[in-house]
Amino acid sequence: MNLVELESVRLSYGQAQALEEVTLRIGEEERVVLLGPSGCGKTTVLRLIAGFLAPDSGRVLLEGRPVSGPGRILVPPEKRNVGLVFQDLALWPHLTVRGNLDFVLRARKIPKSEWKERTGALLDLLGISDLADRKPAQLSGGQQQRAALARALVQEPRILLMDEPLSSLDYDLNRRLREEILRLRERLRFTLLYVTHDREEAFHIAQRIIVLSRGSIAFQGTPEEARAWFDS
């Protein structure tokens, strides 16, 4: 089953063309990486899937259901079963780690009787249960990344979108958290769409790599095929 579909999507910001006739499909529990330089359209694809943007033409489908069409958002972000980790993490600074998770559960109208179990299990899984009462400014970079992951996953999304989440970390921490993301995906079985400009990250995380260039798909295939394509 295709969990995510973009059909002939075009989108521009004023006179600047962001996406040009992009068609892509992502299957259930697939690990897909969007790879390309800044400004190629990667983040725009995530924002379309999350429901923050509508295409100028074409449409977006989730689980076979149209959620956006030309100039129209048919299903708002809060009604899509999608989690998102931003590049800047966007943790609410005035809330504790637990408060960040509770905010999401409240917004998604999850019964309060489920909050403690959900947040506790996820914080344990990510190894940050002892940090639950700290605010983001009291956390290290790696701890903030784990808190942002917990916040994205607490709603139990079928699709997790990650926008350059590890770009600000040093190499060793970046690599450790890549492994953490893969471990979580194996445990929780969500579909992963991961954005990066870093080839090593892409080769490590992906089952399939989609290379974007100037708003169009230049290549898609396995990491092995991508290596050969880059070397050709």
Burial annotation 84-93 (CB, 10 A radius, 16+ → b, else e):
bbbeebebee
Answer yes or no: are the C-beta atoms of 69 and 77 closer than 8 Å: no
Q: Which residues neighbour 82 within 8 Å (Cβ) at sequence distance 6 or greater?
A: 49, 50, 51, 62, 157, 158, 159, 160, 161
More confident residue, 168 or 171: 171
pLDDT, tens only, 171-192: 898 999 999 999 999 999 999 9
Task: Tell me how far apart the alpha carbons of residues 193 and 127 are, in angstroms, rounded to a whole number.
Answer: 23
pLDDT at 90: 83
* pLDDT score, position 152: 92
What tens digit of pLDDT does each residue of 123-158 get? Answer: 999 999 999 999 999 999 889 989 999 999 999 999
0.75 cut: is pTM over it?
yes
Structure tokens at 218: 């230049």
Tens digit of pLDDT for each residue in 56-85?
999 999 999 999 999 999 999 989 999 999
Please report which confidence band the pLDDT of residue 32 belongs to, taking 50, 70 and 90 as the band edges.
Answer: very high
Non-local CB neighbours of 23 within 8 Å, separated by 6+ positions: 6, 7, 8, 9, 58, 217
**71 is written with which tokens?**
């100039």
The mean pLDDT value for 7-17 works out to: 95
pLDDT surpassing 80 at residue 122:
yes
Q: Are 86 and 162 in contact (CB under 8 A)?
A: no
Q: In sequence order, what DSSP letters do the residues of 108-162 get, joined into one string? A: TT--GGGHHHHHHHHHHHTT-GGGTT--GGGS-HHHHHHHHHHHHHTT--SEEEE
Place of tokens 């790696």: 142
* Contact call for residues 58 and 7 (beta carbons, < 8 A): yes
